[in-house]
Amino acid sequence: MHTSDFKIASNRTQRHRVINLQTKIFNTSEQDLVEASELIKGGGTLAFPTETVYGLGADATSNIAVAKIYQAKGRPSFNPLIIHCFSIDQIKAFALWSSEAQVAADKFWPGPLTMVLPLLPESNISSLALAGLQTVAVRIPEHPIAQKILKLSNTPLAAPSANPSGTVSATKAEHVISRLSGKIEGIISGKASKIGLESTIISLLNEASILRYGAIEAAEISDVLGINLKKPEQDEKISAPGQLSSHYAPRGSIRLNSKTIKENEVHLGFGEVDSDLNLSKTENLIEAAANLFDFLHKLDEMGAEKIAVSPIPEEGIGIAINDRLRRAAAPR
* Residue 110 is a binding residue for ligand TXA (CB under 6 A): no
* Residue 161 is a binding residue for ligand TXA (CB under 6 A): yes
Which position among 4, 14, 28, 135 is part of the footprint of ligand TXA (CB under 6 A)? 135
Find the shortest distance in angstroms from Cβ 232 to ligand TXA: 10
* Residues 312 and 205 sit within 8 Å (Cβ to Cβ): no
Closest CA to 327 of 137, 166, 161: 166
* Residue 105 is a binding residue for ligand TXA (CB under 6 A): no
Query: Among the candidate windows 5-13, 32-40, 236-244, 264-272, which touches ligand TXA by CB under 6 A?
Result: 236-244
Quick check: helix, strand or coil at residue 328? helix
Q: Tell which phi-psi region holds residue 227, choosing left (phi > 0), alpha (psi between -120 and 50) or beta.
A: beta
Which position among 95, 136, 150, 317 is part of the footprint of ligand TXA (CB under 6 A)? 136
Query: Across the strands, what pairs with 138?
Result: 83, 115
Could you say which residues in the range 270-329 bind Mg ion, by CB under 5 A? none
> Residue 169 or 275: which CB sits closer to ligand TXA?
169
Q: Which residues contact 217 (CB under 8 A, 6 or more apart)?
A: 200, 316, 317, 319
Closest CA to 268 of 323, 307, 300: 307
Could you say which residues in the range 146-165 bind Mg ion, by CB under 5 A? 161
> Residue 216 or 279: which CB sits closer to ligand TXA?
216
Partner from Mg ion, ligand TXA, none binding residue 158, C-beta < 5-8 Å depending on class = none
> Residue 24 or 247: which CB sits closer to ligand TXA?
247
Could you say which residues in the range 254-313 bind ligand TXA, by CB under 6 A? none
Find the shortest distance in angstroms from Cβ 92 to Mg ion: 26
* Residues 59 and 65 sit within 8 Å (Cβ to Cβ): yes
By CB atoms closer than 10 A (0-12, 13-18, 19+), residue 112 is: buried
Rounded to the nearest 5°, which phi and psi values hold at 30? -50, -45
* Residue 178 is a binding residue for ligand TXA (CB under 6 A): no
Closest CA to 108 of 232, 243, 204, 234: 204
* Residues that bind ligand TXA in the complex, under the rule CB under 6 A: 50, 52-53, 55, 79-82, 114, 116, 133, 135-137, 139, 159-161, 198-199, 201, 211, 241-243
